[in-house]
């Protein structure tokens, strides 16, 4: 299997030792539960074989990122309708979830189909948008192997609350598989920010993915 992206919890303590970047924005001022985007070469010892920084050259790092991007682009997936709106013949999807085809042993756990990582995939986000009839989506990735998308945009607070509620309950029960309780904004298939709730307060973290965040050695 080629190199592929793996999302890691924002609480991952070993991020600085591995080739990774924040899901959004830079390392400075990163919301604490914002996931990391790491790269794996396969499965080893019951977990992912993540690419470390030790001895990594700039060419190696760029190669891993390119390989993981190609792998993500080639992923075969189907879409499951998680919720509908409307009545009788007027019902249509209001929340969808990707299911990704993986060969046995490609991930440490059978329930982890790398569907959470589809938040990195513009093609997948565009497919979700077409199903939901919206170019702007709210996406949640509360745990490994779980991604939900619904129509909505930054500043649309009732929809943002629905998304955060969908994320927080699953995140709170996910244990070691937990990723993030945040609701992420996407527009035209691209990540644009997140709704960050911390206790009784929150804020909108508006930032695009930053490829410089890989800290590729020079």
The DSSP output letter for 27 is S
Q: For residue range 127-160, list pLDDT tens digits in order.
A: 999 999 999 999 999 999 999 999 999 999 999 9
Q: What is the pLDDT of residue 136?
A: 98
Mean pLDDT of the chain: 94
- pLDDT per position as a tens digit, 181-196: 999 999 999 999 999 9
**pTM check: above 0.85:** yes
4-44 residue pLDDT tens: 999 999 999 999 999 999 999 999 989 999 999 999 999 99
Kindly report, residue by residue over 97-111, the tens digit of the pLDDT: 999 999 888 999 999
The answer to whether 31 and 140 have CB atoms below 8 angstroms apart is: no
Tens of pLDDT, residue by residue over 159-173, are 999 999 999 999 999
If one counts the domains in the chain, the total is 1
* 87 pLDDT above the threshold of 90: no
Give dist(CA 141, CA 119) in Å, integer.
Answer: 8
pLDDT at 202: 87
* Mode of pairing for the β-strands spanning 183-187 and 190-198: antiparallel
Which range of residues forms the domain containing residue 75? Answer: 4-214
Give the pair of three-digit tokens for residue 82: 């998680």
Enumerate residues 6+ apart whose C-beta is below 8 A from 135: 129, 187, 188
Q: How close are the terminal C-alpha atoms of the chain, in Å?
A: 27
The DSSP letter of residue 114 is: S
Report pLDDT for 200: 73
Given a cut of 70, whether residue 85 has pLDDT beyond it is yes
Tokens matching residue 144: 């490994």
Tens digit of each residue's pLDDT (9 = 90 or more) over 44-70: 999 999 999 999 999 999 999 999 999
Tokens describing residue 129: 């948008």
Which whole number is the average pLDDT over 83-95?
85
User: Which tokens hold the place of 103?
Assistant: 């060969």
**What pLDDT is recorded for position 88?**
66
């Amino acid at each position: 299997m080629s190199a592929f992206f793996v999302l890691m919890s924002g609480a991952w303590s070993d991020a600085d030792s591995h080739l990774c970047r924040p899901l959004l924005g830079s390392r400075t001022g990163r919301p604490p539960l914002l996931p990391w985007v790491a790269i794996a070469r396969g499965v080893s010892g019951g977990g992912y074989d993540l690419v470390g920084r030790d001895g990594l050259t700039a060419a190696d790092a760029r190669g891993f990122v390119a390989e993981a991007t190609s792998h993500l682009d080639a992923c075969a997936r189907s879409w499951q309708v998680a919720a509908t709106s409307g009545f009788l013949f007027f019902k249509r999807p209001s929340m969808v979830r990707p299911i990704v085809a993986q060969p046995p042993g490609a991930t440490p756990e059978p329930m982890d189909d790398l569907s959470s990582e589809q938040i990195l995939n513009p093609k997948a986000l565009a497919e979700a948008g077409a199903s939901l009839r919206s170019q702007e989506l709210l996406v949640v990735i509360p745990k490994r192997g779980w991604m939900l998308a619904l129509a909505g945009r930054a500043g649309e607070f009732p929809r943002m609350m629905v998304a955060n509620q969908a994320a927080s309950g699953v995140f709170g029960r996910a244990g070691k598989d937990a990723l993030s309780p945040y609701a992420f904004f996407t527009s035209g298939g691209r990540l644009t920010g997140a709704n960050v709730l911390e206790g009784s307060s929150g804020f909108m973290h508006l930032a695009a993915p930053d490829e410089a965040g890989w800290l590729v050695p020079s």
